[in-house]
Amino acid sequence: MIRRPPRSTLSSSSAASDVYKRQVSTQSTGVQGHCIMDKPRYARVMKILGRTGSRGDITQVRVEFLDDNTRSIIRNVKGPVRDGDILTLLESEREARRLR
C-alpha cells in the first residue's frame, strides 16, 4: 500500500511528499531505499525512559541490539512495552530525541 500525502501538504518540500516520492521510486525500481535496511534487527528494551506524544500514547525506551551488545539507542514505541521485550527494528540508524 502506498501512503499518499495529505491534500494540505502537496508542496514538493513537505515531509509527507518526500515519503511519497521515496515509496514510489523504490516501488518502481524494485530496489529498496537507502534508509530501509535489508533485514530487520532485533533489540531488547533495557529501560523505559518516559511517555511522550500529545496523549501520552508513545513510550520512549532505551534498547540494546541483540547482535551488538555494545550499542544502544533511544527509540519511541507505540503500544504496550515492558523491560526485556524484544523489538523488531526495520530501521536502526535513527535515534529519538530525548524527553525534556
Are the beta carbons of 65 and 41 closer than 8 angstroms?
A: yes
pLDDT at 83: 94
Residue 11 has pLDDT above 60, yes or no: no
> How many Cα atoms are found within 13 Å in the side-chain-facing hemisphere of 30?
0
Helices (H), the chain: 15-29
Distance from C-alpha of 94 to C-alpha of 58, rounded to nearest angstrom: 17
Averaged pLDDT of the chain: 76
Q: Which residue has the higher pLDDT, 40 or 21?
A: 40
Whether this model's pTM surpasses 0.75: no
